Amino acid sequence: KQEVTQIPAALSVPEGENLVLNCSFTDSAIYNLQWFRQDPGKGLTSLLLIQSSQREQTSGRLNASLDKSSGRSTLYIAASQPGDSATYLCAPYGGGSGGGADGLTFGKGTHLIIQP
Partner 1 sequence: KAGVTQTPRYLIKTRGQQVTLSCSPISGHRSVSWYQQTPGQGLQFLFEYFSETQRNKGNFPGRFSGRQFSNSRSEMNVSTLELGDSALYLCASSRDRDRKTTNEKLFFGSGTQLSVL
Interface positions with partner 1 (CB under 8 A)? 31-32, 34, 36, 41-46, 49, 51, 89, 91, 93-94, 98-109
Nearest CB to partner 1, comparing residues 100 and 116: 100
The phi and psi torsions of 99 (rounded to 5 degrees) equal 65, 25
Q: Work out how close the CB of 76 gets to partner 1 at its nearest, in angstroms, rounded to a whole number.
A: 19
Whether the Cβ atoms of residue 102 and residue 49 lie closer than 8 Å to each other: no
Q: How many CB atoms lie within 10 A of CB 95?
A: 22
**Coil/strand/helix, residue 3:** coil
Nearest CB to partner 1, comparing residues 5 and 74: 5
Q: Work out how close the CB of 93 gets to partner 1 at its nearest, in angstroms, rounded to a whole number.
A: 6
Handedness of CA 93, 97, 101, 107 (dihedral sign): negative
Nearest CB to partner 1, comparing residues 79 and 101: 101
Q: Work out how close the CB of 49 gets to partner 1 at its nearest, in angstroms, rounded to a whole number.
A: 5
